[in-house]
Structure 1
Amino acid sequence: MSMMILNARRVWRPIGRLLALAAAAATVAACSTSDVTSAPLPAGGAFTVDATTQWVYVSLADSAVVTPTPTSGQSSAWDIAFNATNVMLNGGQAGPGGVTGFCVCQNTARNPSNTEWLAMTPAGEKATFDSLTRTPSGATFVSDQLTPAVSGIYRGSGTTATASPDSVFFVRYADSTGFAKVHVTALTTPTAASPGTVTIEYTLAGNADAAFGATRTAQIDVASGAKNFDLNTGQVTTSATDWELRFDGYTVRVNGGASGPGKSAAAKITDFTFATATPASTVANAYRADVYAGIFNTARYYRYNLAGDNRISPTFDVYLIRRGTRTYKLQIINYYSATGSPRVVTFRYAQLSE
């Protein structure tokens, strides 16, 4: 298979043609995806995408990175997208493409030890990838849905819903300058559509080394519609940018990722109560933004910190990506560049003949 290296601004030709195009390399490097006029490559290959700072959208049929227009949620041009450890498919709530996914999960099913996971290599796992030629019998494909970073803060539903005060989250500010510790302490007049008036307790810290300040209380009336809450000011706001939490029915969104333009993210605190959690109670890697996710959320393509070095290790599980009558097999084989930079994701894929 030809090796391609893709990023959000350029498409490199197959390695077999690189020497022939060497004289024009500067011109090619300056071209955007829309500038490339050569015929599409076969639906398959190995690719590397730089998903360091933003979502990178890939059309598997065209073997190219594309720019969704006007937004990813309104564009059918892409099939799969990458941002750090997140993977999104263009279907369900994520986009109009009707793309769905299924995990064969041949490695995860064996439940390997940490040592066995770490021994897996791209070369060693290629035979498994190559051997899959048809969709397994009984495969159930799923589409992407909103996966909020904040969940589990309510118990039950409808008129019997209650707060879950032991569900504590750290929430990063939208401008990333500090963070808050938050939990819900009470609900007033919940209904089937809304938790009613939500009472939260929260406290602020200017940075990861600062202690939390005094505990504050706020009440957010969600019964009258979705509300954006600014943790810094302690007020509900109509600003499109200056907020951290959006209470929308029983869904709580953060101002980041799929839900907003900011840098907010949340980390659930599992081993501490609201009173005892301190800034040192979690690590930066625990914070997550809202994403649209399906199979890549329920069956993650990586394991974290297997060797105690905070590294991402691929599972080398094979996924099936379906769009209309086309089905592709896909295997993520690396999360690091040749120089060790993270969030540079390499995957291989091929269209099944069925």
Structure 2
Amino acid sequence: MNKTYLALLLAMTFGLTACGGSSSDDTPVETPDEVTDGSGGSDDGSSDGGNEEATIYGPYSTGSTSEPVAVYFDLDTQTQLTLTDEEAATDTAWDIGFKRTNVFLNTHQDTPVSLYFTGNNSDFYDDTGAPVSDLFLNATADSELDDYLAVTESDIPEAEAFSTDTETQVIGDTFYNYDFTTHVVTPNEDTYYIVFSDSNYTKFHVTDIVTEGRGIGEITLGVMHQSVLDGQTTFAEEVALTLDAVGCSDAVYVDFDLQQVVTQADGWDLTIPCADGAGEFALTIADDATVLRTDAQTYNGVDTEAAQYYGFSEETVSEYAMSTNNWYFYDSTSHLLYSQFGVYLIQAGDTTYKFQITSYYDEEGTSGAYSFRVDPVTGE
């Protein structure tokens, strides 16, 4: 394993974990950008809807790192809605949600809620894109109020400039290349995947693809297995595993522990769906498996004690529109998150709102407690 990479990864992760709650010792906890008096928040996070422009709502708690809780907010009524995650998955009333460091939009409305970053405070980053820490640490809700008030209807761009949250696949179509001119499919040999399944890790990549009509006839995987149950700490030598899907009538199933094709009834880890007598261009992991996309060099094995920090996920993951221009800066000295005080435009239904996060902490210094400004955009 690349030790330098892992050390950096662990340092950042442990730092972020430290943001998960208030201090448990006598060391004073700095609470950046505390909610000012006159906040629109109440004990239950609700609002009476009659607040003046730039009123700060919150703090709204999103739980702890170990027990996160989602907060769902309706921009129209400027109130928090009490919903379970299951209810929120189909509910169309909420517009924006918060869960620890993630800020996400409702994609279940007739027109998905979308977001645009105005680009204010671009000077918070230098020419290389690195954050200028002093600007983040010294900014306050009061010092950045003018940026918020300055946004008017004239700042609303064309609809195409707004982005919505999307879902993407870790493997998806990244295991092959398609030439739109020659219509030739070739394997993407430089992209590797590590699958965690049945307590073991398997690193693989695709080394050969033979097409059958519009599907896959044969596909060869380069498989490197790490049997944690047998005490292995590194991946074994690469083994070529060729899967034949020509004339298939059912999906092809692979057991990484055995490194061979099995049936659906067996403990399979990876499958290739079948359609019209050939494999589809899809590699799907088992429901109880997780996956990490990587390259050839980064990992020569998985440290089981640190694996939770590697970034393993389900095959389908969410990509949040706000992540493109994220709202916070992580200070590795204080282990706190500081708002960039970016002003975002949010389109929900027929209304465009301006939105600015003012704090991630409550008055006791507990993290995950969002405070923010939000108003319909008016004026010219």
Q: TM-score, with normalisation over the residues of structure 1?
A: 0.65
Tell whether 2:187 aligns with 1:187: no
Residue 153 of structure 1 corresponds to which residue in structure 2? 175
Which sits farther off after the overlay, 56-65 or 336-345? 336-345
Decide which of 295, 300, 313 is 1:277's aligned counterpart.
300
Tell whether 2:123 aligns with 1:100: no
Decide which of 89, 94, 99 is 2:105's aligned counterpart.
89
8 Å contact 1:100–1:321 — kept in the other structure? yes
Unaligned runs of 5+ in 2: 1-37, 274-279
Residue 41 of structure 2 corresponds to which residue in structure 1? 4
8 Å contact 1:230–1:237 — kept in the other structure? no
Tell whether 2:189 aligns with 1:165: yes
Decide which of 137, 140, 143 is 1:119's aligned counterpart.
137
Which is higher, the Rg of structure 1 or of structure 2? Answer: 2
Residue 15 of structure 2 corresponds to which residue in structure 1? none
Which amino acid is the alignment partner of residue 278 of structure 1?
Answer: G
Q: Matched residues in 2 for 1:68 and 1:178: separation?
A: 33
Give per-residue Cα distances to partners, 1:108-153, cap 9 Å, x unaligned. 4663343345424342333322332335153511222213344643
Which sits farther off after the overlay, 142-151 or 227-236? 227-236
Tell whether 2:96 aligns with 1:80: yes
Q: How many residues align?
A: 309
Tell whether 2:345 aligns with 1:320: yes
Q: Matched residues in 2 for 1:84 and 1:199: separation?
A: 41
Q: Matched residues in 1 for 2:217 and 2:357: separation?
A: 43
Q: TM-score, with normalisation over the residues of structure 2?
A: 0.61
Instruction: Tell me the CA shift for residue 299 of structure 1.
Output: 2.5
Give per-residue Cα distances to partners, 1:217-258, cap 9 Å, x unaligned. 47496997988877667677869xx98767686566777xxx
Instruction: State how 1:119-268 maps to structure 2 within 5 Å.
Output: 119-123=137-141, 124-134=143-153, 136-139=155-158, 140-150=161-171, 152-156=174-178, 159-173=183-197, 179-189=201-211, 198-200=219-221, 201-204=223-226, 206=228, 211-214=233-236, 217=241, 219=243, 264=290, 266=292, 268=293
Q: Matched residues in 1 for 2:40 and 2:86: separation?
A: 30
Residue 296 of structure 1 corresponds to which residue in structure 2? 322
Q: Go from structure 1 to structure 2 and tell me whether the alpha carbon gap of 1:119 and 1:278 turns closer, same or farther (over 3 Å shift).
A: same
Q: Matched residues in 2 for 1:13 and 1:250: separation?
A: 48
RMSD of the TM alignment (CA)?
4.6
Which amino acid is the alignment partner of residue 119 of structure 1?
Answer: L
Q: Matched residues in 1 for 2:244 and 2:340: separation?
A: 42
Q: Matched residues in 2 for 1:333 and 1:247: separation?
A: 47
Q: Matched residues in 1 for 2:101 and 2:269: separation?
A: 22
8 Å contact 1:68–1:78 — kept in the other structure? no
Task: Provide the identity percentage.
Answer: 21
